[in-house]
């Protein structure tokens, strides 16, 4: 295990929120599969006494984490359509502020389903970076050639190239957020924008459920609030244009499954909703995600 520090203050001056609840030798690539069902495994979770950033400390060595992500087996399954609806809704809000719709990048693009969506939204050249080989293998043949199968790192793209860079549920997973944001800054065009959507560690549900809130998860190195999200972007040179709550689109049965109720009650409600024919109805709910749109100043 290796020690981490506050990514904003650069030191570890923190208090413990929750103790680690797993044995390091039992960790494998199945656990490092984004958007799997919550299993409540997490590192020791601490909070910086100065800025309030929440982070995991200590964590597994970085080369091990990288290896797990490369072997990760996750697919989006039935939720791809919903994620596409949610992400394009927010990207659409900011498209008008971008220098042009020439070059689009998504970091952590999975099978590239959103790259196809970005093309439909009018972006001319779309690129993705994704470490999970098996996920990229399932991508659309028209899009596969535009995905770099690796961890996002320095030097993969030219400087001042992108109009927009998107990170959807990715920033929380990054053990080196400053390095990633510095590189994003370098490869964005002046006035280019970055759109980032992730969990809100300060959300209502995080407060109510505490340690049981599924964001306290071994995959997350850093967990942000609106305040710490803004600070880390501005620390890396970005100018915040907007910071906001995200409403996610999901079918009703998904929301019911995620809701903290005893299983028997959930099944009874599920039966009822099914009998009146609305179990698959899509609804938008603010459930503890936040977004930031920031630009590289001219």
Residues that bind Zn ion in the complex, under the rule CB under 5 A: 6, 8-9, 48, 50-51, 53
Asked if omega into 56 is within 30° of 0 (cis), the reply is no
In the complex, minimum distance from the CB of residue 223 to Zn ion, in angstroms, rounded to a whole number = 13
Q: What angle do CA 22, 198, 224 make, to 5 degrees?
A: 70
Pairing outcome for strands 103-107 and 162-168: parallel
* Residue 50 CB, nearest approach to Zn ion (Å): 5
Per-residue b or e along 64-82, where b marks 16 or more CB atoms closer than 10 Å to that residue's CB? ebbebbbbbebbbeebeeb
Is the Cβ of residue 8 or residue 83 nearer to Zn ion in the bound state?
Answer: 8
Q: How far is the CB of 292 from Zn ion (least distance, A)?
A: 18
Residue (246 or 292) nearer to Zn ion, CB? 292
Closest to Zn ion by CB, 15 vs 145, is: 15
Q: Quote the least distance from Cβ 8 to Zn ion, whole Å.
A: 4
CB-nearer residue toward Zn ion: 48 or 223:
48
The edge-to-edge listing of strands for the beta sheet with 14-18 is 14-18, 45-48, 54-56, 222-223
Q: What is the DSSP pairing of strand 14-18 with strand 45-48?
A: antiparallel
Structure tokens at 174: 């990054």
Q: Counting beta carbons within 10 angstroms of the beta carbon of residue 260, is it exposed (0 to 12), middle (13 to 18) or buried (19 or more)?
A: exposed
CA neighbours within 13 Å on the CB side: how many for 232? Answer: 29
User: Is residue 66 within 8 Å of residue 109, measured between CB atoms?
Assistant: no
Quote the least distance from Cβ 13 to Zn ion, whole Å: 7
CA–CA distance, 53 with 213 (Å, rounded to integer): 17
Q: Which is nearer to Zn ion, 117 or 226 (CB)?
A: 226
Nearer to Zn ion by C-beta: 8 or 194?
8
CB of 48 to Zn ion, least distance (A): 3
> Given the complex with Zn ion, which of 9 and 279 has the nearer CB atom?
9
- Give yes or no for a contact between 71 and 29, defined as CB atoms under 8 angstroms apart: yes
Q: 212: Cβ–Cβ under 8 A, 6 or more apart, which residues?
A: 40, 260
Q: Which is nearer to Zn ion, 56 or 146 (CB)?
A: 56
| Tokens (6 digits) for 246 | 């995200």
Q: How far is the CB of 174 from Zn ion (least distance, A)?
A: 16
What is the nearest approach in angstroms of Zn ion to the Cβ of residue 19? Answer: 20
């Amino acid at each position: 295990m290796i020690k981490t520090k506050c990514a904003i203050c650069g030191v570890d001056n923190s208090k413990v929120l929750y103790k680690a609840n797993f044995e390091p030798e039992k960790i494998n690539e199945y656990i490092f599969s984004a958007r799997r069902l919550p299993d409540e495994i997490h590192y020791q979770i601490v909070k910086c006494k100065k800025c309030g950033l929440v982070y995991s400390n200590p964590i597994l060595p970085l080369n091990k984490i990288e290896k797990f992500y490369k072997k990760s087996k996750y697919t989006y399954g039935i939720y791809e359509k919903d994620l596409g609806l949610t992400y394009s809704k927010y990207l659409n809000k900011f498209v008008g502020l971008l220098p042009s719709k020439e070059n689009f990048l998504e970091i952590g693009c999975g099978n590239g389903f959103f790259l196809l969506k970005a093309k439909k939204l009018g972006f001319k050249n779309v690129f993705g970076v994704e470490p999970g080989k098996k996920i990229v293998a399932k991508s659309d043949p028209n899009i596969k050639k535009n995905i770099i199968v690796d961890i996002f790192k320095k030097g993969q793209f030219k400087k001042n190239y992108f109009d927009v860079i998107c990170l959807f549920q990715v920033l929380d997973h990054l053990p080196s957020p400053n390095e990633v944001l510095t590189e994003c800054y370098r490869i964005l065009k002046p006035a280019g924008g970055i759109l980032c959507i992730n969990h809100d560690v300060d959300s209502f549900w995080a407060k109510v459920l505490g340690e049981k809130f599924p964001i306290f998860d071994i995959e997350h190195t850093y967990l942000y609030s609106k305040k710490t999200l803004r600070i880390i972007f501005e620390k890396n040179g970005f100018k915040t244009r907007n910071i906001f709550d995200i409403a996610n689109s999901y079918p009703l049965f998904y929301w019911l499954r995620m809701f903290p109720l005893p299983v028997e009650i959930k099944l009874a409600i599920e039966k009822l909703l099914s009998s009146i024919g609305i179990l698959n109805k899509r609804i938008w709910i603010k459930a503890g995600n936040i977004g930031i749109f920031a630009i590289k100043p001219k």
